[in-house]
Structures are given as structure tokens and as C-alpha cells.
Amino acid sequence: MIEIKKQSLSETFSIYFDQRMFKILLLGSISGFPWVLIGSSLSLWLKEDGLSRSTVGWAGLIFAVYAFNYLWAPLIDRIQIPYLTKKIGHRRGWIVLMQLFILSSLGLWSLIDPTENLALVISVGLLIAIASATQDITVDALRIEQIGENEGKSMAAGAAMAVVGWWSGYKLGGVIALFSADYLQSLGIENYWQLTFLILGVLIILMNIGLMFVTETNSEERIKKQALNDKLISDKLGDNNFFSKFAVWISGTISGPIISFFKKNGFSIALGILGFVFLFKVGEAFLGRMSIIFYKEIGFSKSDIAIYSKTLGWITTVVFTLLGGLFVIRSGVLKAMFLAGIIMATTNILFSVLAWSDKSELLFAIAVIFDDIAAAFATVAFVAFISLLVDRAYTATQYALLASIGTAGRTTLASSSGALVDWLNGNWGLFFILTALMVVPSLLILWSMRKKLKIVNE
């Protein structure tokens, strides 16, 4: 189990300068970048091609893939990629393969008109989501494996750096996407979004070059542990035939992590944890799915959105993620989770104020900055929280399970965000108030089980 202990400010910030943290930063960027493609870029592309808010919202269902990547997480741990595994390692081999799928998908998008081939555009977006969700399994495992099992302080700092990296990939990728699309549109190029996707493909190539500097460790030890676990199960099942071997493989890779999670926490608390994780960031997801459409409808240009929501937002996110990591280390993850929920709700209300006011760059900047502060703080607290809950014997699969359940809440429920705005007849102010209230159920669940959670030094 990860142990987060209180420490001085100087000790905390010195951990951030460990060279492993820069590798974790890169891994986070690789994980966050695809969300630019199937999130804000795809949403704005569809909107500017004349599709409705509801269509844009329902297109977000492709994010639901992230909610189920835990189902194939054990396969990622086991299956080796021909040639790539031997040349660059098991984890990096899977990441590079998925990056190649994403790069190819961007090439396909550059050839498609969404008004004529919406189904094909969404299908390619689904391929990007599947590849991204698959690489996330490996990225999270490789991130955790950069830190020793007993290095609790470094693991907490690593959680913060992973979040900084994710938002860096998402925000900076968004800046390049929006500015490129705006510039190409100003030149009178009709298919400016298609060309923008080719530009974004260059970033993927650069990320893969950087990935080669991230080292892999404990591959042989992991294989030995898997073999030992299989042998224990095989001894109990008996007959050494095809069916028994298959049963051993299924039990060792899928059943083990799930049984371990419920056994460690107890059935009722385990269900409470899953419910909390599912609901915690639903309100944030409703806001996030529609925010770029909201900005556009109240009169802000793509360049305005790039400056305030992406560039300025990235700086805010980096600073407050690092400060959020410090707060988690010193005050405990449960206090951080409650505070994060309150901040998220308060921030959503700021968007209601923006909606009910005349167009104001100052209000826009304030709302966006506080939204990024809330998102940064909530994300680093959430990552630390689920990291504390996983069993180190099944880190990759259990982390994927909890992260996927959290994503399930954000994607499946938030896919109706556009329909909700339409049902409210475009009343953005009321929409944001409803999103603020969505965090309440999760906080009530967390409060009810706060004393029974098995978290060290909480």
C-alpha cells in the first residue's frame, strides 16, 4: 500500500525535482493528449460543420471506452507485442503500438467530411478512444513502476506530476489545435480542421521519441510473480489439460485482482468506494463536455478560447496541481477529496454568473481559471485516493478498474449534457447550477464510510 506522510514544504518540493518525475510528466502528457482529439477538437469540428449540440454531446459516448479498459487490462500485462517488446520493452511496446493506431486515425480524419460521413468520423474517433484507453493501462503501470513500492512520498509526488503531465498534454495540445484551426481558417482553407489533425500527428511522433528515454524495470520479476500465482491456482485445479490451463489463466489475471479488492475492503465498503468513484466527477464532466460550446455561443472566438481556456488554464493547472499534491501529502487524501468536491461545485456556479452576464473577458478569465484550479485539485486528490486503495500485488489491473469506473460516470452520464442544455432551452445558467449539485451524492457516500476506509496515515 502507498503511504503518504506529512513533510516540510522544502522536502515536498525537492521530491518534484527527482529525474523520475520528469519521466512521469512525459507519460502523463502521452495519456492526456488523445483527449484533445476526441474531446474539444472533435466537438468544435462537428459544431462548426453545422451539427447540433445534442449530436456533439452524444458523440461523446466514445469516451465510454475508457470506462471498460480494465476488462482487457490483464491481457496488456500478459501479451507481448512481436518485435516491439524485444526491441523497446513490454510497456513501451504497447504504448508505441497504440500511438501508431492514433496517428493512422488522424490521417483518416484528414480525409473525411463530417457532414457527409458522420458515422465514419465517429467510428474513427472510437478507434482513437480504444487505442488511448489501451495505452492508458500501460502508461499507468509504467508510471507506478517508476517508483519503488515503499517510496510513499515519491508516489504521492508522482501522482501530482502525472496529473500535471496529463493536463499539459491536454492543454498544450488544445492550444496548438485551436490556434492551428483558427489560422488555417483565416487563410480561407475550407478543410482547416482536417489539416489541423495532421499537424497534431507531428506531436505524437515527438512524444514517441521522448518515450524512449523512459526506462522499464522489474519486467522479469513481474513475469515470475505471474507464473508463481498461476502455479498456485494450477495446483488447486489439478488436471494439466487445455481447459484447466485456461481456467488458471483466467483466475490468475482477472478474478484475482477483483477478489483481492473486495476482500481487503469488505463488501459494503468496496461497493461504497465504487459508487463514490463513479459519481465524484460527474458534474465536472457535464460542464467540461459543453464548456467549449458554451464559450462559442456567448461570442468568444477559437483564439480567445485558446488563450484563456488552454494557455492560461495550463499554467493555472500546473501550479495548483503541484500545490494540490502538497495539500494531499500534508493534510490527508480524505480532507482533500471533500475540499475538491466543494471547490468543483462552487466553480460551476461561477459559470452560471458568466452565463447570466453580458459578454465579459474578465468574467470569462475568472471562471476558466477557477475551473482549472478545481479540476487540478480534484484530479490530483482523486489519483492519490485510488492509488492508496490498490493492492500492490495487482496495481495495474486494480488501478485500471477504479479509474475506469470513474471514467464511466463521467462519460456515460455526461453524454446527455447537450440534450440537457436543449431541454433547458439553452438556459446555460440553470444548467451549470445543476452540474454544481451533482457532486453532493458522492460526498455523502464518502462521508458515510470515511472511518472505515483502510488508508494508511489518513
Helical spans, DSSP H, in 188-218: 192-211
Residues 79/87, Cβ–Cβ less than 8 Å:
no
What local confidence, expressed as pLDDT, does residue 4 receive? 42
Helices then strands, counting H and E runs in the chain, come out as 23, 0
What local confidence, expressed as pLDDT, does residue 457 receive? 43
Burial 165-177 (b: 16+ CB within 10 A, else e): bbbbbbbbbbbbb
Task: Count other C-beta atoms under 10 Å from residue 444's C-beta.
Answer: 11
- The tens place of each residue's pLDDT in the chain, 458 residues long, gives 344 444 566 666 777 788 888 999 899 889 888 888 887 787 778 877 777 777 777 777 777 787 777 778 877 877 788 888 888 888 899 999 999 999 998 889 888 888 788 888 888 888 988 999 898 888 888 887 787 766 666 777 787 888 888 878 887 888 888 888 888 888 888 788 888 888 888 888 888 888 888 887 766 665 666 556 555 555 565 556 656 666 666 666 666 677 777 777 778 888 888 888 888 887 777 776 677 777 777 777 777 777 766 666 667 778 888 888 888 777 777 888 889 889 888 888 888 888 888 777 788 888 888 888 888 888 888 887 887 777 666 666 778 788 878 777 776 777 777 778 888 887 888 888 888 888 888 899 989 888 777 664 44
The rounded radius of gyration (Å) of the Cα atoms in the chain is 22
Task: Count other C-beta atoms under 10 Å from residue 398's C-beta.
Answer: 24
What local confidence, expressed as pLDDT, does residue 228 receive? 61
4, exposed or middle or buried, with CB in 10 Å at 0-12, 13-18, 19+? buried
What local confidence, expressed as pLDDT, does residue 169 receive? 86
pTM across the whole model? 0.69
**Residue 111 C-alpha from the chain's centroid:** 28
What local confidence, expressed as pLDDT, does residue 2 receive? 40
Closest CA to 372 of 317, 435, 439, 318: 317
Residues 217/91, Cβ–Cβ less than 8 Å:
no
Superfamily of domain 9-215+239-449, CATH level 4: MFS general substrate transporter like domains (1.20.1250.20)
CA angle 247, 250, 252 (to 5 degrees): 105
CA distance 87 to 204: 20
What local confidence, expressed as pLDDT, does residue 27 receive? 92
CA distance 271 to 265: 9
HSE-CB of 260 using CA atoms within 13 angstroms: 19
Closest CA to 320 of 340, 304, 305, 302: 340
